[in-house]
Amino acid sequence: MQQTNYTNVHFLRGRQTTDANGQASFISIYPGWYQGRAPHIHVEVLDTNENSLMVTQIAFPEDISQTVYATDNYNGIYDTSNAQDNIFADSLDGNMCTISGNTTDGYTLTHTITLNA
């Protein structure tokens, strides 16, 4: 399999407008990891004028990450657990997503982000 270097592009960036219920849906791959960070997704919430209202991150359950990274499509296990990740040190429970599914059929991630008005 040929490896592609995406270090100089905006790989897997997405943007969604929420529906009337404030919900958005993405189809993507399970995120990779980089040194010193647990697997995660960055999220920025914008208002209708594109002003940033919140920047946050979504954490993944470690048992699911370990299962995914053990497959042939990933390059081994991450080096930082959720508990060791300094970004999640005081907010892991609030950043943790719920995942259902499997490596054959895919996973569904659910996460609620609440904005205080």
Around Cβ 78, how many Cβ atoms within 10 Å? Answer: 23
How many Å from the N-terminal Cα to the C-terminal Cα in the chain? 49
Q: Between 110 and 10, whose confidence is greater?
A: 110
Query: Cα 98 from chain centroid?
Result: 11
pLDDT in tens, 44-103: 998 889 899 999 999 999 999 999 999 988 878 899 999 999 999 889 999 999 999 999
pLDDT over 80 at 10, yes or no: no
| Residue 40, beta-bridge partner list | 59
pTM exceeds 0.85 = no
- C-alpha 80/C-alpha 51 separation (Å) is 32
Element (H, E) at 65: helix 62-69
